[in-house]
A and B are shown apart, each in its own frame.
Chain A
Amino acid sequence: MIATALTDLWHGFGVALEPHNLWWCFVGVLVGNMVGVLPGMGPLATISILLPLTFGMKPVGAILMLAGVMYGAQYGGAICSILLNLPCHPPHAVTCLDGFPMTKQGRGGVALGLTVFASFVGASWGITEMIFLSPLLVRAALQFGPAEVCSLMLLGLLAGSTLARGSPLKGVAMTVLGLFLGSVGTDLETGSERYTFGLTELDDGIELIALALGLFGIAEFMSSVNQIAPINTKYTNVSLKDMRPSKADFKRAFFPMWRGTIVGSLCSLIPGTGPTIASFVAYATEKKVSKHPELFGTGLIEGVVCPEASTHSSVQGDFIPTMSLGIPGDAVMALLLGALMIQGIVPGPQLISQHPDIFWGLVASFWIGNILLVLLNVPLIGIWCKMLAIPYKFLYPSALFFVCIGVYAANNDFFQVGEVVVIGAFGYILLRLGYHPAPILLGFVLGPRFEENFRRAMLIARGDMTVFVTRPISAVFVAMCVILIGSQIYFRMRGGKSVVPDVTEHGGAAPPPIAPKLTPQRVPVTPAE
């Protein structure tokens, strides 16, 4: 078992080290890191902008690059939150709590240095988990019939929408809306058109890129335009020399780093809990474990490395259900899965056996990419810090151009650029009404497959709905769904706060009870979940 995994991994390194794959991986992490540093741009928008450019590439290179953008942005986001107190990306909101006080004490460099190290540790753990857990999951998943796939998808969708952020009810509403949007276009089985309103351009359904760029590009620009305060560059002069931690710092950071890693990997095992939740849980745990919890928030290195390690280990862990079951845990994963589908690759348990080069190449590239990121972040820290000063007023018009040309290039069709405008305006209304649009993408990507499996399951069971509870594996998933809904109602009834603090309700920073020091600055909300 372990031996086969290692042989496959060896093969994966062979794939990932091919010059063009290595190049695309490098481009991905570089762009990701850059975008992560820039306030106001998120990995979701970036991946969707880059998506059309990958159509001409081979699937392996494409997915390597897009995944690189994602974890690269995690590294970059830490810089932004530690040096500027701006949690540009939700998972880094807690890093601000102790990261920025450290910066004010002139120890920002140390925090950054140890963060890079902690991220690497967390990511490596997550990758190792992926290597050994995915084949196991696949073996189980190959036994699944349509009924099981259906209830598993239901579980994934429910978890993704209720655990993510904001009101669970609104999350479910967005998922349902996403499922519906996925059904627009020609019906796969009967060939009849649905909700096209006579527009032939909609026959193939709504374009994934147009949807993603509308919701995470245009809607986000609308909510952050003229709202971003000029950035205070007082603390952003960090040089390589400042980054080296002292032995004492390293010692203090060592165990929190591992605790964070473990917490993150546990979180990633629960479907739907993305890096944001992982980082909050890790911070809370660290505070509980600590001998001096009252010092948290004053610039403790533990409070920086623990959530960062956790974020990275959970991000890598999130790839496990995405790659082995074809069920994405959050919007970024849904987008990556969408990218694979555009390349003509069917996600699901058969992916690893049918396309071993993609799966193992991806795993190997994670390691290579993470090493590249450490190499990029340490010597180039000065450049990243300079990039923080790029004003938003130059950023968003350029990004808008990339949105337009990206959507156009997807099909060489202006109609889809129009789609983006409509979706963007609608997305902004949703944002203002307190909806987080990320679950829409989740539902959209899974929608067609959900419908297909549902129909098939019903056909096999001769229209008997009880099949979902009479087949044992499916019954387990359904039971988990019920527990999930039940616990949400229970917490609601008790009047307690939801399990997960609402991190980014309208760009607010972390919730007040944990973060009395954080000024409620308006920052762009970038739904990374």
Chain B
Amino acid sequence: MRRSSSLISTLVRKKDFYAGGLMILLGLGIALKGATYRTGTLMHMGPGFLPTALGVILILIGIAIGAAALAPSDGEHDESILPPSPQWWAWACILLSPVFFIVFGKYFGMAPGTFACVFIAALGDRTATWLSTIVLSTVVTVFGVSLFSYFLQVPMPIFTWGGGL
């Protein structure tokens, strides 16, 4: 009992444990969903054959990776899943930036979309000031719109209202 609890407590501190676990989960999902498509025979393979096989392989690899976490740690590696200084704010900004591009681009056009996209992304930097962010967004918007809309003719209105697309 004692031993198993210490085993678990070493496992949960290991990166490879989670790495393997993620692959097992993905593999399970892929294989289970793949099994719902027609698998067919080796000679006449259905659409589900290869994905299901890949899912099973992924599960096996995941188990192997997770098992590697059982080996005693040499203490050198960075075993934490989060980086030394997590940048939640910056990560949120980076992931939200394309979302803003989609929303503003769709409903207001390319120029507002670009501005919003760069603006949000730039806020992620620790040293960003309002002024530097606005200046950067404006410069990129002017440059980007002239390059993509006039020069490369990407079919997206510069300004629109309410999602004409």
From residue 5 to 52 of chain B, which have CB atoms closer than 8 A to chain A?
15-16, 18-19, 22-23, 26, 30, 33-34, 37-38, 41-48, 50-51
A17 at the B interface (CB under 8 A): no
Q: Are B58 and A432 in contact (CB under 8 A)?
A: no
Q: Are A401 and B126 in contact (CB under 8 A)?
A: no
With known contacts A218-B95, A408-B156, A187–B16 Cβ distance under 8 A: no
Q: Are A169 and B61 in contact (CB under 8 A)?
A: yes
Cα distance, A424 to B93, chains bound together (Å): 13
A180 at the B interface (CB under 8 A): yes
Cα distance, A464 to B114, chains bound together (Å): 55
Which of B43, B47, B140 is packed against the most chain A CB atoms within 10 Å? B47
* List of B residues within 8 angstroms of A463 by Cβ: 41-44
**Other-chain contact of B121, A173, A192, A397 (Cβ < 8 Å):** A397
Q: Are A183 and B19 in contact (CB under 8 A)?
A: no
With known contacts A400-B117, A463-B43, A429–B22 Cβ distance under 8 A: yes
Q: Are A455 and B45 in contact (CB under 8 A)?
A: yes
Count of CB-CB pairs between chains A and B under 8 Å? 182
Q: Are B125 and A226 in contact (CB under 8 A)?
A: yes
* List of A residues within 8 angstroms of B158 by Cβ: none
Q: Are A433 and B18 in contact (CB under 8 A)?
A: yes
B70 at the A interface (CB under 8 A): no
Q: Are A194 and B41 in contact (CB under 8 A)?
A: no
With known contacts A223-B83, A435-B19, A180–B97 Cβ distance under 8 A: no
Size of A's binding interface in residues, CB under 8 A = 62
Q: Are B98 and A404 in contact (CB under 8 A)?
A: yes
Residue in B closest to A195 when the chains form the complex, CB atoms = B33
Residue in B closest to A180 when the chains form the complex, CB atoms = B54
Name the distance in Å between A376's Cβ and chain B's nearest Cβ.
Answer: 22
With known contacts A218-B95, A400-B117, A401-B114, A414–B102 Cβ distance under 8 A: yes
With known contacts A400-B97, A432-B83, A454-B50, A173–B58 Cβ distance under 8 A: yes
Q: Are B87 and A432 in contact (CB under 8 A)?
A: no
**Other-chain contact of A400, B33, B46, B121, B148 (Cβ < 8 Å):** B121
A5 at the B interface (CB under 8 A): no
Q: Are B148 and A180 in contact (CB under 8 A)?
A: no
Residue in B closest to A399 when the chains form the complex, CB atoms = B121
Q: Scoring B residues 121 to 156 as 1 if CB is less than 8 Å from chain A, else 0, what string do you get? A: 110111110001000110010001000100010111
With known contacts A170-B65, A401-B117, A183–B140 Cβ distance under 8 A: no
B109 at the A interface (CB under 8 A): no
Residue in A closest to B97 when the chains form the complex, CB atoms = A400
Name the distance in Å between B164's Cβ and chain A's nearest Cβ.
Answer: 13
Cα distance, A184 to B46, chains bound together (Å): 14
* Interface size class of chain B, counting residues whose CB lies under 8 Å from the partner chain: 35 or more
Cα distance, A465 to B47, chains bound together (Å): 18
Chain B interface secondary structure, helix, strand, loop or mixed?
helix
From residue 388 to 413 of chain A, which have CB atoms closer than 8 A to chain B?
392-394, 396-398, 400-405, 408-409, 412
The segment out of A281-289, A304-312, A415-423 that lies at the interface is: A415-423
* List of A residues within 8 angstroms of B108 by Cβ: none
Name the distance in Å between B129's Cβ and chain A's nearest Cβ.
Answer: 10
Q: Are B154 and A405 in contact (CB under 8 A)?
A: yes
Q: Are A225 and B124 in contact (CB under 8 A)?
A: yes
* List of B residues within 8 angstroms of A384 by Cβ: none
Residue in B closest to A191 when the chains form the complex, CB atoms = B47
B105 at the A interface (CB under 8 A): yes
**Other-chain contact of A179, B33, B54, B98 (Cβ < 8 Å):** B54
Q: Are B140 and A417 in contact (CB under 8 A)?
A: no
Q: Scoring B residues 88 to 124 as 1 if CB is less than 8 Å from chain A, else 0, what string do you get? A: 0011001101110110011000100110011101101
Cα distance, A95 to B70, chains bound together (Å): 37
Cα distance, A403 to B58, chains bound together (Å): 30
With known contacts A177-B26, A397-B97, A432-B82, A405–B148 Cβ distance under 8 A: yes
With known contacts A180-B30, A225-B91, A226-B90, A53–B54 Cβ distance under 8 A: no
* List of B residues within 8 angstroms of A433 by Cβ: 15, 18-19, 22, 81
- Using a CB–CB cutoff of 8 Å, the interface residues on chain B facing chain A are 15-16, 18-19, 22-23, 26, 30, 33-34, 37-38, 41-48, 50-51, 54-55, 57-58, 61-62, 64-65, 68, 78, 81-83, 85, 87, 90-91, 94-95, 97-99, 101-102, 105-106, 110, 113-114, 117-119, 121-122, 124-128, 132, 136-137, 140, 144, 148, 152, 154-156, 165
- Given A179-B54, A458-B45, list of 14 further CB < 8 A pairs? A173-B65, A180-B54, A187-B47, A192-B37, A194-B34, A226-B125, A393-B127, A397-B121, A414-B165, A417-B98, A451-B50, A455-B45, A458-B43, A463-B44
Nearest 9 CB-CB pairings of A with B: A463-B43, A463-B42, A397-B121, A393-B125, A187-B47, A433-B19, A397-B122, A404-B101, A225-B90
10 A-B interface contacts by CB (under 8 A)? A194-B51, A227-B87, A392-B125, A400-B117, A401-B118, A404-B101, A405-B148, A409-B154, A412-B155, A434-B16
